[in-house]
């Protein structure tokens, strides 16, 4: 059965410049899923599975058996499905905004690892969601800010226990976190705390490419999120991901994505 679900229209300033909570809910019992892995959300979501078991599916990572405690990160426009034929207890929160795109660009959210098994769920998960339910049910800017802050705490908790499986993954995550900084390969290696050769080996092991390709890919991914989620100018988006020259950024973006920033925004604006 569904215990509760509540949605709220986000405050436009939170959506454009911060993080907006769009809804939250709790479900306990069997869940049939959403249609074979083809469901798509327009925004981000976190699912906290506190008891029971089920399965997550998407065409990028395949089926993943989910056993509580676990978290599931859902990304905008990514086809996916999750179900629990035997029943589980889940709490979910739907959110969006410029801050979220920044988190993804920093590597806080990892599309390669949407499911975290053995997650450390907040001790007061039920209380957090009760507070979120209350905030979403109240009108006014204070309620919207309260919901935003509660969602950011839940987002931080959802990834707090995530550990890199290998030293290479830890290196890649560190490079992604500082991808917007203007650094050469030696400076990036020093910042991560490894030698240049180790940096190159780790990045090649995990991504198949070079550190420079990882940085560019991370910047472009983050730019896509900002273009789709905000009304920031192309110049502001370029600067936020690490490019001082918007014309160069536009050319690079077009080469990588296939369309220019303005056209990408027109097609994917949420």
Give the pLDDT confidence of 182-206 residue by residue, as tens digits.
999 999 999 999 999 999 999 999 8
Considering the segment(s) 2-160 as one domain, its CATH architecture is Sandwich (2.60)
Per-residue pLDDT at 36: 64
Per-residue pLDDT at 125: 94
The phi and psi torsions of 231 (rounded to 5 degrees) equal -110, 20
| CATH code given to domain 167-268 | 1.10.10.60
Other Cβ atoms less than 10 A from the Cβ of 113: the count is 16
- Note the Cα 17 to chain centre separation in Å: 16
For the cut 70, the answer to whether the pLDDT of residue 164 exceeds it is no
Per-residue pLDDT at 83: 93
- The pLDDT tens digits for 13-31 are 887 778 999 999 999 999 8
> The pTM is what?
0.70
Q: Is 35 helix (H, G, I), strand (E, B) or coil?
A: coil
pLDDT band at 61; cut points 50, 70, 90: confident
Q: Residues 6 or more apart from 148 whose CB is under 8 A from it? A: 14, 18, 19, 20, 21
Q: Is 42 helix (H, G, I), strand (E, B) or coil?
A: coil
Which residues belong to CATH 1.10.10.60 in the chain? Answer: 167-268
Burial per residue of 148-185, b for 16 or more beta-carbon CB atoms within 10 angstroms, e otherwise? bbbbbebbebbbeebeeeeebbbbbbbbbbbbbeebee
Distance CA 261, CA 40 (A): 23
| Lowest-pLDDT choice from 81-90, 96-105, 209-218, 253-262 | 96-105
Which residues belong to CATH 2.60.120.280 in the chain? Answer: 2-160
């Amino acid at each position: 059965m569904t215990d509760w679900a509540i949605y709220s229209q986000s405050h436009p300033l939170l959506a454009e410049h911060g993080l907006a909570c769009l809804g939250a809910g709790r479900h306990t019992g069997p869940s049939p899923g959403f249609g074979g892995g083809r469901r798509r959300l327009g925004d981000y979501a976190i699912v906290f599975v506190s008891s029971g078991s089920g399965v997550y599916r998407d065409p990028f990572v395949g089926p993943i058996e989910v056993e509580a405690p676990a978290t599931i990160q859902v990304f905008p426009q990514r086809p996916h499905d999750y179900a629990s034929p035997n029943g589980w207890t889940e709490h979910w929160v739907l959110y969006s905004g410029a801050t979220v795109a920044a988190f993804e660009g920093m590597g806080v959210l990892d599309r390669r690892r949407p499911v975290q098994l053995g997650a450390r769920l907040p001790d007061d998960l039920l209380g957090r969601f009760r507070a979120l339910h209350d905030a979403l049910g109240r009108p006014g800017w204070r309620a919207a800010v309260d919901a935003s802050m509660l969602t950011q705490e839940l987002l931080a908790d959802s990834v707090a226990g995530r550990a890199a499986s290998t030293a290479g993954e830890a290196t890649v995550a560190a490079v992604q976190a500082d991808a917007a900084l203007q650094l050469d390969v030696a400076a990036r290696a020093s910042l991560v705390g490894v030698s240049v050769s180790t940096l190159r080996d780790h990045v090649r092991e995990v991504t198949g490419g070079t550190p420079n390709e990882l940085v560019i890919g991370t910047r472009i991914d983050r730019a896509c999120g900002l273009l789709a989620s905000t009304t920031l100018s192309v110049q502001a988006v370029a600067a936020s991901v690490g490019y001082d020259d918007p014309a160069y950024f536009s050319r690079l973006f077009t080469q990588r994505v296939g369309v220019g920033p303005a056209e990408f925004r027109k097609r994917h604006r949420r």
